[in-house]
Structure 1
Amino acid sequence: MTGTRDPAATKARIFEAAAAEFAAYGIAGARIDRIAREAKANKQLIYAYFGNKSELFAQVLETRLVDLARDMPIDADDPDAWVDRLLEYHDTHPQLLRLLLWEGLEYGTGPLPREDERTSHYDRKAEAFADAQRRGAIDTTLPPRDLAFILLGVAAWYAAMPQMRKILVGDTDEARARLRESIGTAVRRIISKP
């Protein structure tokens, strides 16, 4: 008796194997045969379910970004708490930053897959900061888009560059806690009214 086919489970295994492969090797270095082997799936199913390798990467990254947006909604009225939650998220979900770093290395400033949808998503983040500025909840010195970029960068750098964190501040629990506190102080200074 042969096993029952479960396309949803196979697709999920392929997706998780692809996420790990892309995080480890980037788009150019990822290999469909390794993804198939890890997912215990036929290589042709990968193409049938996801299209080519670039499309598979785009779907993996988009899903991880949607997960982040769902789990970490922006709080423009309390950006330091939001950044602290992002630091925690990136510590527990390191794959996302690796995927974003690979995307930056491989696409640079050229056209990105699904760029319009992502731009729309970040437009909403910038508008949340603009609204908080209009209401007087945060300082208006920095343009909202710049503020969003800076805060996202602060949150990402902490987890994306563990080697720099180790060299500059140490790699103990105490050092990481102190750095997170310093990041919170810096964010509060950025958003505080003069």
Structure 2
Amino acid sequence: MTVTTKAQETRGKLLEAAQEEFSEHGLAGARVDRIAERSGVNKQRIYAYFGNKEALFSAVLSRVYEQMGEQVPIPSTEEGLRGYVGQVFDYHRRYGDLVRLLAWEGLHYRDRPIPSEKERETYYTHKTASLSVALGIDDPTASARVLIALIGLASWAFIVPQQRRLMLGPEHDSEASWALLRASVVAGGHAVIDNALHGTA
């Protein structure tokens, strides 16, 4: 194994362990010692690779965003866009880390700049550009409003699972309940898309 390959493997182990730790405890509650223990890597390696805990959190989020982008790329056609909300909903149901990490990030930074501000802006600029193509509109701000609405619809039940449980009752976790909720979310997404197509976004 070359030095580069070993370094990549070590970095990957740290990111995987940090993802679990941050997802469970957030940025403020996460502990570098636990990340080192989870990964089986010396704690000093964390600082050598990432510098500090905030930079590590940022790297974890970048990794999770990349994974989601590979599995659920934003479409550039209206037909693809109509299936997008359901696909994002399904992704969050399978993998809950992204919504949890974003919730923790929001609680920690609130409206202050995040360490990866420019990188995240670029990510969303790309997404809104694809959305503009799909909707046939030439207004990035209008596309951004549509994207916020679609993401909100697809992710809210996972950001606040207690509300889903309290509102939907004892059967909230049954497949039938999930199917009905998904259908409602998708219908809401179609309404947002239709409004945008008719120039009311």
TM-score, normalization by structure 1: 0.88
Distance 1:134 1:14 in 2: 42
Match of 2:91 in 1: 89
Measured after TM superposition, the shift of residue 168 of structure 1 is: 1.6
Q: 1:41 is paired with a residue of what secondary structure?
A: coil
Q: What amino acid does structure 1 have at the position aligned with 2:94?
A: T
Contact 2:153 2:188 in 1 (8 A): no
Contact 2:131 2:147 in 1 (8 A): yes
Measured after TM superposition, the shift of residue 151 of structure 1 is: 0.4
Measured after TM superposition, the shift of residue 128 of structure 1 is: 2.1
Measured after TM superposition, the shift of residue 13 of structure 1 is: 1.8
% identical aligned pairs: 35
Distance 2:136 2:41 in 1: 53
4+ residue runs of structure 1 moved beyond 4 angstroms?
Answer: none
Match of 1:35 in 2: 35
Selected match of 1:120 from 119, 122, 134: 122
Contact 2:75 2:134 in 1 (8 A): no
1:186 equivalenced with 2:188 (yes/no): yes
Match of 1:25 in 2: 25
Distance 1:74 1:148 in 2: 10
Distance 1:188 1:6 in 2: 47
Note the 1:1-194 alignment, pairs <5 A: 6-76=6-76, 77=78, 78-134=80-136, 143-169=142-168, 170-192=172-194
> Per-residue displacement from partner, 1:129-157 (whole Å, max 9, x unpaired)?
2223327xxxx9x9211000110111111
Measured after TM superposition, the shift of residue 96 of structure 1 is: 1.1
Measured after TM superposition, the shift of residue 53 of structure 1 is: 0.6
Unpaired segments ≥5 residues, structure 2 = none
Measured after TM superposition, the shift of residue 79 of structure 1 is: 2.4
> Per-residue displacement from partner, 1:91-134 (whole Å, max 9, x unpaired)?
11111111111110001111111111211211122222222332
Unpaired segments ≥5 residues, structure 1 = none
Q: What amino acid does structure 2 have at the position aligned with 1:122?
A: Y
The structure where helix makes up a greater share of residues is 2
TM-score, normalization by structure 2: 0.85
Contact 1:84 1:180 in 2 (8 A): yes
Distance 2:128 2:6 in 1: 41
Q: What amino acid does structure 1 have at the position aligned with 2:83?
A: A
Q: What amino acid does structure 2 have at the position aligned with 1:162?
A: P
